[in-house]
A and B are shown apart, each in its own frame.
Chain A
Amino acid sequence: MRAITAEGLVKVYRTRSSEVRALDGVDLEVEQGTVVGLLGPNGAGKTTAVRILATLLRPDAGRATVAGFDVVRQAQEVRSVIGLSGQYAAVDENLTGRENLWMFGRLYQLPSGESTRRAGELLEQFDLTDAGDRVVKTYSGGMRRRLDLASALIGRPRLLFLDEPTTGLDPRSRLGMWDVIRSLVREGVTLLLTTQYLEEADELADSIAVIDHGRIIARGTADELKSQVGGERIEVVVHDRADLPRAEEVLARDGSGQWTLDEHTRKLTVPATGGTAKLVEIVRDLDLAGVVIDDISLRRPTLDDVFLTLTGHGAEDDARETAGPGAAA
């Protein structure tokens, strides 16, 4: 049995002045015991999709099942097998960590003793034992996120939804959160994870669905997606902004695809076949054209390249990346 299925999910938010088509026909399948990463930039529709699957929101069209239960007609059954940790920590600031977990356990319909025991276990597992009897108001952002995730796990859900679990965390807390998520996966939970970070999806997910403007625009394993974009990349950081047009000309000639420019860092990227020989050729041609460079490197494609190829814009910041002529076709 598939843990999650979704067919043709549509959600339109209507406000007085506008209509936003947040989901525009999303299909999704998640196999039991796997991790699927829903990857997309801000506003792509990730949270909306998760909220529909977690029964918080009704779709305007389409249908979805979670653990075999229909998310609209059997919402209560769905709720008793899922755990949800949203984009912002949803815990009660005026309760202690332990009280929060106990309360959510009771509302998950665990008996009181079981709730207490489970709260203790989770505090330990999430390294919150010392802070467990302090009110959450005194917690750091990272601690709140851990408590939020612990709250989602209180009823030992078979299926877990994590909406941007590391957004806003410092790099160290992020690595810690990754470890926690990996250990959950080892225990066999099925996980749907949303993220804006390509690296994170690559790191945690078995397969990835790329979402943009409410549509799934690609799916596959990280490797499959990368191969879709073709071979290696050469990156050139130009020293002087004035040299950019000439450098672009060189890359258009020597590269094997469209170049892209990151204005901010003066970094030009171009797909290239021929490995180091091509690298040498480009260095020479840039030199001949009188372009001074700060850095040049050869690298394997990242998921960021995937996004750029699929959508014509970068995943993390639309404004920063400008594609070369013709790239957006």
Chain B
Amino acid sequence: MNRILADTLIVTWRNLKRIPRIPELAIFAILQSIMFVVLFAFVFGGAIPLPGGGSYREYLMPGIFAQTIVFAAATTAIGMADDIHKGLLDRFRSLPMARTAVLSGRMASDVVYNAGILVVLMVSGFVVGWKLNTGIPELLAGIALLLLFAFAMSSIGVLLGLGVPSVEVAQQVGFTVLFPITFISNVFVPPSTLPDWLQPIAEWNPTSTLTAATRELWGNPNPFVGTGLPAEEPVLVTIVWAIVIIAITLPLGVRRYRNMSR
């Protein structure tokens, strides 16, 4: 147990070291989110009425945070695939280290990385007009929920990164799957504006429940139509989502890692 923890910390340290050494990665991740903020807060936002009123920018920012967190899956998948491609995974696997520390270290460092990005985005959010209408406990609860979800997405990323043949494929799969998931949601528009058949998907979409949960926690406009469970208990549904995702993908990822010796 001790060894697992020690080795996880070393792998985490190593992954975090690279962030300041390839600053482009973090900068572009932040710029991508800021681009969405600019696009929707200043360009489309005026044309999107919120049922029940409220500030669109206040509505938008929690969605942007959630969207960023969903992309944690791609970050992890790319990092994993890169380690395989460069032969580092083989080196790790030839060492007498705790076997799963490669995976837990990757997930831990990606959660830290996403926490950093979240801080930058929150500050940017304040600049464009996002507000916290509740207190610090709610703020922290919202952040904890986002990071729990980041962990779940990283778990998907491990599974994906170990399964793709190259870094480029990891990138492609990440973006072609994650973009639609973050768009068929309540991130940018209220789901009531979507076609009927898409509405249940958008409501149950974990991106939506995560967004609705933080909006609710922080007192931001949250015009979630419908009376289903995701609308009424977004925090609970998000936690369940995260646990289900982790319970399914983490064992599969560990198994795929062990099966690399097949």
Residues on A facing B (Cβ under 8 Å): 51, 54-58, 76, 79-80, 82, 84, 86, 88-95, 99, 103-104, 106-109, 135, 151
Question: Is A84 within 8 A of B86, CB to CB?
Answer: no
Question: Is B261 within 8 A of A84, CB to CB?
Answer: no
Q: How many residues of B sit at the interface, in one of the four size bands? A: 20 to 34
Question: Is B262 within 8 A of A58, CB to CB?
Answer: yes
Question: Is A95 within 8 A of B17, CB to CB?
Answer: yes
Distance between B61 CB and nearest chain A CB, rounded to angstroms: 32
Most buried by A among B11, B86, B260: B86
Distance between B59 CB and nearest chain A CB, rounded to angstroms: 39
Question: Is B94 within 8 A of A84, CB to CB?
Answer: yes
Question: Is B95 within 8 A of A107, CB to CB?
Answer: yes
How long is the Cα–Cα vector from A283 to B222 in the complex, in angstroms?
Answer: 97
Q: Given A84-B91, A135-B21, is A57 in contact with B261 using a C-beta cutoff of 8 Å? A: yes
Partner of B87 from A54, A82, A90 at Cβ < 8 Å: A90
Interchain residue pairs with CB less than 8 A apart (12): A56-B94, A58-B261, A79-B96, A80-B96, A84-B90, A84-B94, A86-B90, A91-B88, A94-B18, A103-B13, A109-B96, A151-B91
Question: Is A54 within 8 A of B261, CB to CB?
Answer: no
The 8 A CB mask of B77-95 against A (1 = contact, 0 = none) is 0000000001110111111
- Who on chain B is nearest to A83 by CB? B94
How long is the Cα–Cα vector from A82 to B94 in the complex, in angstroms?
Answer: 8
Distance between B5 CB and nearest chain A CB, rounded to angstroms: 13
Q: Given A94-B21, A95-B17, A109-B3, is A79 in contact with B95 using a C-beta cutoff of 8 Å? A: yes
Question: Is A92 within 8 A of B96, CB to CB?
Answer: no
Question: Is A92 within 8 A of B87, CB to CB?
Answer: no
Most buried by A among B94, B96, B261: B94
Q: B262 — which chain A residues lie within 8 A by C-beta? A: 57-58
Question: Is B18 within 8 A of A90, CB to CB?
Answer: no
Q: B21 — which chain A residues lie within 8 A by C-beta? A: 94, 135
How long is the Cα–Cα vector from A94 to B3 in the complex, in angstroms?
Answer: 25
Which residues in chain B, 70-122, are within 8 Å of chain A measured between CB atoms? 86-88, 90-97, 101
- Who on chain B is nearest to A54 by CB? B94
Q: B97 — which chain A residues lie within 8 A by C-beta? A: 107-109
Question: Is B10 within 8 A of A103, CB to CB?
Answer: yes
Question: Is B92 within 8 A of A107, CB to CB?
Answer: yes
Distance between A115 CB and nearest chain B CB, rounded to angstroms: 10
Distance between B110 CB and nearest chain A CB, rounded to angstroms: 15
Distance between A104 CB and nearest chain B CB, rounded to angstroms: 7
| Main DSSP-derived SS at the A contact region | loop
- Who on chain B is nearest to A107 by CB? B97
Partner of A89 from B3, B7, B17, B87 at Cβ < 8 Å: B87
Return the 4 tightest CB-CB contacts between A and B, nearest first: A90-B87, A80-B96, A94-B18, A107-B97
B14 contacts A by Cβ under 8 Å: yes
- Who on chain A is nearest to B14 by CB? A103
Distance between A287 CB and nearest chain B CB, rounded to angstroms: 56
Distance between B93 CB and nearest chain A CB, rounded to angstroms: 6
Q: A104 — which chain B residues lie within 8 A by C-beta? A: 91, 95
Q: Given A90-B87, A103-B14, A104-B95, is A56 in contact with B7 using a C-beta cutoff of 8 Å? A: no
Q: Given A55-B261, A80-B96, A94-B22, is A107 in contact with B7 using a C-beta cutoff of 8 Å? A: yes
Question: Is A55 within 8 A of B18, CB to CB?
Answer: no
Distance between B218 CB and nearest chain A CB, rounded to angstroms: 36
How long is the Cα–Cα vector from A94 to B108 in the complex, in angstroms?
Answer: 18
How long is the Cα–Cα vector from A106 to B92 in the complex, in angstroms?
Answer: 11
Distance between B103 CB and nearest chain A CB, rounded to angstroms: 14
Distance between B4 CB and nearest chain A CB, rounded to angstroms: 12
How long is the Cα–Cα vector from A5 to B241 in the complex, in angstroms?
Answer: 50
Q: Given A56-B261, A107-B7, is A90 in contact with B95 using a C-beta cutoff of 8 Å? A: no
Question: Is A92 within 8 A of B90, CB to CB?
Answer: no
How long is the Cα–Cα vector from A54 to B96 in the complex, in angstroms?
Answer: 11
Q: B86 — which chain A residues lie within 8 A by C-beta? A: 90, 92-93
Q: Given A57-B261, A89-B87, is A76 in contact with B17 using a C-beta cutoff of 8 Å? A: no
Q: Given A76-B96, A79-B96, is A90 in contact with B91 using a C-beta cutoff of 8 Å? A: yes
Distance between B176 CB and nearest chain A CB, rounded to angstroms: 22
Q: A106 — which chain B residues lie within 8 A by C-beta? A: 6-7, 10
Most buried by A among B3, B260, B261, B262: B261
The 8 A CB mask of B251-262 against A (1 = contact, 0 = none) is 000000000111
How long is the Cα–Cα vector from A56 to B17 in the complex, in angstroms?
Answer: 27
- Who on chain B is nearest to A108 by CB? B95
Q: Given A55-B261, A93-B86, is A108 in contact with B93 using a C-beta cutoff of 8 Å? A: no
Question: Is A56 within 8 A of B93, CB to CB?
Answer: yes
Which residues in chain B, 18-34, are within 8 Å of chain A measured between CB atoms? 18, 21-22
Distance between A165 CB and nearest chain B CB, rounded to angstroms: 14
How long is the Cα–Cα vector from A95 to B22 in the complex, in angstroms?
Answer: 11
Q: A95 — which chain B residues lie within 8 A by C-beta? A: 14, 17-18
How long is the Cα–Cα vector from A99 to B16 in the complex, in angstroms?
Answer: 13
Question: What would 19 more interface pairs be, CB under 8 Å, given A94-B22, A103-B14?
Answer: A54-B94, A55-B261, A56-B93, A58-B261, A84-B94, A89-B87, A90-B90, A92-B86, A92-B88, A93-B86, A95-B14, A99-B17, A106-B7, A107-B11, A107-B92, A107-B96, A108-B95, A109-B3, A109-B97
